[in-house]
Structure 1
Amino acid sequence: MAYDLKAILPADFAEGRFLGRALAPEGPVVIAIRGGVIYDLTSSAASVAGAVARREFDGGDAIGPVADGLPEGWQLLSPIDLQCIKASGVTFAVSAIERVIEERARGDAGKAAEIRAGLEGKIGSGIRSVVPGSPDAQQLKDALIEQGMWSQYLEVAIGPDAEIFSKSPVLSSVGHGAQIGVRSDSSWNNPEPEVVLVSDAHGEVVGATLGNDVNLRDFEGRSALLLSKAKDNTASCAIGPFIRLFDDGFTIDDVRKADVELTIDGPEGYRLEGRNLMAEISRDPLDLVAQSLSEHHYPDGFVLFCGTLFAPTQDRDEPGAGFTHKLGDVVTIKSERIGTLSNTVTTSRDAPAWTMGIGEFIRNLAGRGLVEKV
């Protein structure tokens, strides 16, 4: 597959530093972009996790300018490899409301519109105005309990503890241009456009990329205990296109004010547009990272989906039925300082099989004499 890298990198890519992965004929390679030039770092850093741990972002063998693209036969991969893939949920007020709707509708999209209208007027502004874990948040919780409106989703929206979960196994995420999967037995699902932070083993964030935390609203709506089935399926985790590394020109403050745009172009001519405004997040991104690290150990580092403001309610087929994916939907997630991630929807059943797990990855590197460079 040919890639126009300039089309998926931010406009100021020549001033930024980027880290990513590609599949070459011999196996996965680690690539960097600096000064508008692509470099192969694999001879010194055979994994992105290792490059992040050792801060090996410089050097490498020059491949050529970004304008020339990747070498023939190379294909972009997800820009992470051995890192654990974590995600945070219900980090925006709208997301909290939608999760309560899912819970009360028991995963039935047809009932959601009526419940949504009743809830938004009563609790929407209240959630937006409080800091999670604060005394004001506790007051709001007490008031909602009295009204019989409390929910486990509101607990993680305004309580002291964020919802943090494991999104996908190591090495299972897909990159730009790949197919993304929803379960074939899901009737209500949607993309979740998010900023993904990349951290080393000590919780120090080194950069950011984009992600699609594909979600099955019918499964999670029936029971929060079905979260793993709603979130972790073949090809249900897309990350890319590259990690933009933090430097003097791109910092965590750029993440805090990032505008993440989403478009869905359906095969029948349907189009949906949405935005995820990081300025409206209820918890600071670095607080989410700290809660993810907590008392865990991630020796190869971790990445964290920060959650989304986007919750599609626009009807697609029937009035009141809301939005759900169709096969062939093209989902494009874009942020001005990070880049563009685009994927086409299929079912998890029909998506290309995930075959390069940790064992195969290490065997491939061993055959190339690169294990010591991981």
Structure 2
Amino acid sequence: MKHLLLATTLGLSAAVPARADTICEWMDFAQKQLPQGPPPTMGLTQSLTGENDHAMTKVALAMFEAVNAIDHRYRSYVGLAPGAASADQQVAAMTAATEVLKAHPAARKTELEENYELALAGVADNPAKQAGVALGKAAAAAVLKLPDIDSAIAQSPYRPAVTPGQWVPTALPATAPYSIAYRPWVLKRADEVRPAPPPALTSARYARDLDEVRRLGSRTSTERTKVQTLMARYRITSTEMPALRTVADQDGRRLVDNARLFALYGMLVDDLQIAMSDGKLHYAFWRPITAIRNADKDDNPATTADPGWLPLMNTPNHAEYPCGHCLFAGGVAEMMTAVGGGKAPAWGVRVGSMSLPNSAIQVLPDWNEWASQVSYSRTLGGVHYRFSNEAGDAMGREVARLALERVLQPLPAAEVRPAS
């Protein structure tokens, strides 16, 4: 999502099936206006840039609502009534995106208005254009009315566990209390999919998984292969935009289908972040570097302390359980597999790496293989246990299933607006 192909509206008629056009392009534009951190820890580190990530989802949702009001095929999230079928979908989408971006506290309004004006100039001035503008503004207004933070949720400040008088690191964790105060798009509450507790420190499962990350995730591991080391590095912050674009480019897809794809993706990722933050804040489970260096204190005779142990990757500054990368990957894999009708894409799953900007696009056979690699990479990197990976993957898939059941569902055939 790095390049803006701005003025390709070109007055396409309202019912022309879409290719990777206005929706992808204006998501690109929004990305430039609202620079993102890595996708969910992808370091789902979204809690550091939560406001911008949430705003990106609003851009996608507003474009969906605007286009869906014209090509009426899915349930509206905000209850927007269908508009004129003759309205210009391209204009409606870019108007909705611009209006949401202009409302952001850090908006560069002059730049937004100039880009919007130039894009509009490529469309003939007619009633369809004016109707598209009106619907885009209505969609954006409806989305912007949705609350962001739930004031009823107490945001308890982080207090490190300390022995009075004893020094502890003073850096605040990346997962902040406000992470669970965002209003979910899909979930009923932040803890709806909270996992069961991690294994007891005295259990055989804990000892087994601790030993695995100690052996394979060490900076000096002799058991981790070269390919596994590369996997750990490449999967730190992957980007799925090449795969999403490939889906959007399929023949027969309509603009509203692409708008729904990006809106669903954004809503899912936001809620995965909330669910991840809830689990991490609730359990506050220790990272492998802490556990391995202090294994003589866990009351488990099957573990052995290694006071000088270091992970391959730098350990994220927040609690370990559940694995956020795994939660994100499992959720996206579940959603994208469903979008593809349960089949692996014939072209493969194409992903890039945000952590290695000069890396080539990689192709994996299916979404589940990608999710499996993302999860395993966290153990190979020395920052997560296998039980945390499995818990995160299961949570992510559950959130994705709930998203597909609860929001932006396809309308019954009788309610779908006939193609014009």
Instruction: Report which of the two has the higher share of helix.
Output: 2
Query: Which structure has the larger Rg?
Result: 2
Query: TM (normalized to structure 1)?
Result: 0.28
Query: TM (normalized to structure 2)?
Result: 0.26
